[in-house]
Amino acid sequence: MTAPATAAPTELPSYLEAAHGPKSWLLTRDHKRIGILYLVAISVFFVLGGLMAVLIRAELATPQGDMFSSDVYNRLFTMHGILMIFFFLIPSIPAVLGNFLLPVMIGAKDLAFPKLNLTSWYLYMIGGLMTFGSLLTGGIDTGWTFYTPMSTTFAQGQVLVTAVGIFVAGFSSILTGLNFIVTIHRMRAPGMTWFRLPLFVWAHYATSIIQILGTPVVAIAILLVGAERLFHIGVFDPKYGGDPLLFQHLFWFYSHPAVYIMILPAMGVMSELVTAFSRKRVFGYHFVAFSSLFIAVIGFLVWGHHMYVSGQSVVAGAIFSFLTMLVAIPSAVKVFNWTATLYKGSISLQTPMLYALGFIGVFLIGGLTGVMLGTLGIDIHVHDTYFIVAHFHYVMVGSAIMGYLGGLHFWWPKITGRMYDEFWSKVGALLIFVGFNTTFFPQFILGYLGMPRRYHMYPAEFQTWNVLSSAGATILGVGYLIPVIYLLWSLKFGAKAPANPWGAKGLEWQTASPPPVENFATPPVVTEEAYAYETSAPAKEVTVGV
């Protein structure tokens, strides 16, 4: 606890105390406050999306349709997907933790475009409220994928409103990515060279590239769906010579990379957690940094693996299959390098580290089943079954949310200036890990046995696994509830956090908790990388063995 040394010299008010009242929040240009605005908003959407998941799992506890008609069920899982993907997962780590931390980590006073940053939040809110409004007025039944001609011709309900909502929120994502890239290029403190950047920043750089280059493609696709629905013209409608597959290509060109928008920032968080809690320099810094960029680039070339059974040519399928396998390489580089970082580190099992270790296990399963699904033969067998559902929940819920929660716990003292309860936070982390696996592992088995996704009724022989899955969802739900309680509790009753409670090395720990408005009392000059932990202690022991 050597914190006071740097926090002492000046008594600048923290960003939380600098101004008060609703206006000071809603018109703020401080990246830290905007991060908090996002935190509140995405939490609300997470609860809404979560409630829908609860209803879905309750319905699936029995083979009959007890609670909902097929039509209502369709709307339920569609909204669950849309809210969770576009309004929780995509903004989660970048817009909350990235917003708050990225400028602090590189020693800047703010993001390059503070007003644009606030605009992004408003765009996100407008999009979110439109989408949620469409839910209140009947919802949509297209699935989150908006496949044509379902979405353009046959779907009943508020397709147009939802589509515009997602379109608007998409620009929030684009502008956030733009802000991050400019900030990383132009706002680094003296001495903060590219290869001293925390890996969290590298991950966000890669994510931003996808946000800028991918999102506009889905935006134009959504716009065309809207035009087709509104004016009854044939962009994708075969009746007028249109091609429905074109929509799928445009959609997945964004929506596959969108998975990397969700997972790359979580990987960035992982690199920070694993190093801080094993007191070791990250193993193979350059490899981890470039693997993020490699994932971003290769991620743009694999979208066809969503279309193996859509009538795409076998040659295209084989090429996409090969390219999909390539993604496994940078992903494995990261997992191996985190593991190698753990090796002979002085590991302490604080709550963030529990999430980090959970991430490695869960991501391993999610990633390896991704390789299975990238294989043409297996994918055709399990296409549109629960195997797929289990796979993407392992990556997007298991891994991405573990990363998000791990990061939130790691930086909570920095963000709020308060410590949370040790015991309950560990209970929460364990329940989430157990609950998550109990919910989704049975779904791999269900899918392999042939249970299709998106139906609210199923043959009786699948019930055991479904009941297990629903039981797991209960544990998971309790697991998510616990952090809500103790984190809120900590705001008022938590112990005051020192500047650097974990003894971590990143620049963000050199300033007060919570930081002052311009982040640092005096502009920092960087003299070492973010992972300059004393490697001497374990290194001495290395010389003995082998």
Partner 1 sequence: MASEARPAPLAHHFDDYDQQRESATLGMWLFLAQEVMFFGGLFLAYTVYRWKYPAFFALGSNQLDVPLGLANTIVLIGSSLTMVLAVRAAQLGKARQIAGWIGATMALGTGFLVVKGFEYHHKWVHHLIPGAGFHIEGTTDPAAQTFFVLYFCMTGLHALHMIVGLGLLAFLVPKALRGDFSAENHNWVEGVGLYWHFVDVIWIFLFPLLYLLGRHHA
- Residues near partner 1, by CB under 8 A: 108-110, 112-114, 116, 174, 178-179, 181-182, 185-187, 212-217, 219-221, 224, 227, 231-235, 239-243, 246, 249-250, 518
**3-class SS at 525?**
coil
What is the smallest separation between the CB atom of 89 and partner 1, expressed in angstroms?
21
Residue 225: partners with Cβ closer than 8 Å, 6 or more residues away: 146, 148, 151, 152, 159, 163, 235, 236, 247
Of 243 and 529, nearer to partner 1 (C-beta) is 243
Of 170 and 472, nearer to partner 1 (C-beta) is 170
What is the smallest separation between the CB atom of 50 and partner 1, expressed in angstroms?
32
Q: What secondary structure does DSSP assign to 199-248, as a single string?
A: HHHHHHHHHHHHHHHHHHHHHHHHHHHHHHHHH---SS-GGGT--HHHHH
What is the smallest separation between the CB atom of 206 and partner 1, expressed in angstroms?
14
Of 224 and 402, nearer to partner 1 (C-beta) is 224
Of 237 and 529, nearer to partner 1 (C-beta) is 237
Distance (Å, rounded) from C-alpha 197 to C-alpha 3? 22
Residue burial 383-407, b: 16+ Cβ < 10 Å; e: rest = bebbbbbbbbbbbbbbbbbbbbbbb
Of 251 and 294, nearer to partner 1 (C-beta) is 251
What is the smallest separation between the CB atom of 342 and partner 1, expressed in angstroms?
37
Q: List the one residue out of 53, 78, 265, 96 whose CA is nearest residue 166.
A: 78
What is the smallest separation between the CB atom of 234 and partner 1, expressed in angstroms?
6
Of 183 and 438, nearer to partner 1 (C-beta) is 183
What is the smallest separation between the CB atom of 499 and partner 1, expressed in angstroms?
22
Of 320 and 363, nearer to partner 1 (C-beta) is 320
Distance (Å, rounded) from C-alpha 172 to C-alpha 156? 28
What is the smallest separation between the CB atom of 294 and partner 1, expressed in angstroms?
19
Residues comprising the chain, all counted: 546
Contact 279, 350 (CB under 8 A): no
Of 204 and 279, nearer to partner 1 (C-beta) is 204
Vertex 313, ends 308 and 316: CA angle to 5°? 75
Q: Rg of the chain's alpha carbons, rounded to an integer?
A: 23
User: Cis omega before residue 514 (within 30°)?
Assistant: yes
Distance (Å, rounded) from C-alpha 451 to C-alpha 448? 7
What is the smallest separation between the CB atom of 218 and partner 1, expressed in angstroms?
8
Any idea which residue has 């070791």 for tokens? 280
What is the smallest separation between the CB atom of 329 and partner 1, expressed in angstroms?
26
Q: List the one residue out of 105, 102, 235 whose CA is nearest residue 180.
A: 102
Tokens encoding 462? 């699948």
First-to-last alpha carbon distance for the chain, in angstroms, is 36
Distance (Å, rounded) from C-alpha 178 to C-alpha 47? 28
What is the smallest separation between the CB atom of 103 and partner 1, expressed in angstroms?
8
Of 178 and 323, nearer to partner 1 (C-beta) is 178
Of 232 and 286, nearer to partner 1 (C-beta) is 232
Contact 223, 216 (CB under 8 A): no
